[in-house]
Amino acid sequence: MQTALDEQVTVLENVLRAGNVEVPQPSTSGPEPSPDDAADTSGGPGDGATATVSPGDTARSTGDAADQTSGPSRAELAAAALRDLGQSCLEDVSPTSLDSLSTVTAANLPMLISIAGQRGATAHLFGQVPRWGDLTGPTDAAANSLLAAYRPAVYGFEVLAARASGEERTAYEAVLDPLRTATRQITQLAGKAAAPAPLGYGLPPGTADEEGRKALAGELLAAIPPAIMGQTRAFAGDGASVAGSVRLLADAVRLAQAWNPVTGFPGMRVPGA
């Protein structure tokens, strides 16, 4: 996940520099020391003298050390940091944030939708589940173009689940249900523009063993983000299609996480990434 976030930072910095825009720098300055702190750390007249410590001071010192070691563990601090990151990512896909995306120019919209989709997936993976609104876009031909990726994925995961067993089968079924739901919704949004579903798809060999099935799962899900992103430039000013694309992308990235790493710009090839 850190690699994906670093990738976003690198690319966005390059975009700003290309536009002769100053790159914001994180603040690294700590709090100014108080006069009391300065007095505690400054040398006094007796710096060279040997200090004497009373038994009471020793007891207080020991108690202070105990207090310092009774704080949160490293694991607890790490968990808190991940929750904070998830919350931050959740804010990036809030209704207000998604509404603002629809005002972005066509040139910049695909990159920002890709980032928002990655943030939505990250929020969910870190326990902060986005509260998406109803899926109301994309519609018509734009929705139909998505079916070319979703329908084979549904068929493929049906085959994978049928040929697997135990925990492996459970993993495929956990992806299959949301894929079916998304495909039904997209078909409804496509309306009359929806092409008839093929009767079947030819699957590559290798599904007889677990490694081959894992590879196929990754390939099927990897086809979805580019299908979503391929038409987003045309969604400038279309709030429903922008929000729907972010939601579909976030779900696709999250569902694929077991087989495909989360990237900074899912569905895109970004120069400098």
Cβ atoms 10, 273 nearer than 8 A: yes
Residue 252 amino acid letter: A
Cβ atoms 260, 221 nearer than 8 A: yes
Cβ atoms 179, 134 nearer than 8 A: no
* pLDDT computed for residue 7 by the predictor: 62
- CA torsion angle 224 229 231 234 (round to 10): 150
Calculate the CA 71 to chain-centre distance: 30
Distances in Å between the Cα of 198 and the Cα atoms of 189, 201, 205, 222 are 19, 7, 20, 20
pTM of the model: 0.75
CA distance 138 to 189: 7
Each residue's pLDDT tens digit in the chain (273 positions)?
A: 666 666 655 665 565 565 555 555 655 544 445 455 444 544 444 444 444 545 555 445 455 554 555 688 877 776 677 677 778 899 999 999 999 999 999 999 999 999 999 999 999 999 999 999 999 999 999 999 999 999 999 999 999 999 999 999 999 999 999 999 999 999 999 999 999 998 878 877 778 899 999 999 999 999 999 999 999 999 999 999 999 999 999 999 999 999 999 999 999 986 644
Give the helix ranges, DSSP H, for the chain: 2-18, 35-41, 55-69, 74-91, 95-101, 109-125, 140-163, 166-190, 210-222, 224-229, 239-255
Distances in Å between the Cα of 249 and the Cα atoms of 35, 173, 260 are 53, 19, 14
User: In degrees rounded to 5, what are phi and psi of residue 25?
Assistant: -110, 135
Report the 3 state secondary structure along 150-219: HHHHHHHHHHHHHHCCHHHHHHHHHHHHHHHHHHHHHHHHHHHHCCCCCCCCCCCCCCCCHHHHHHHHHH
| Triad 24, 103, 194: Cα angle to 5° | 125
CA distance 66 to 53: 19
CA distance 215 to 208: 12
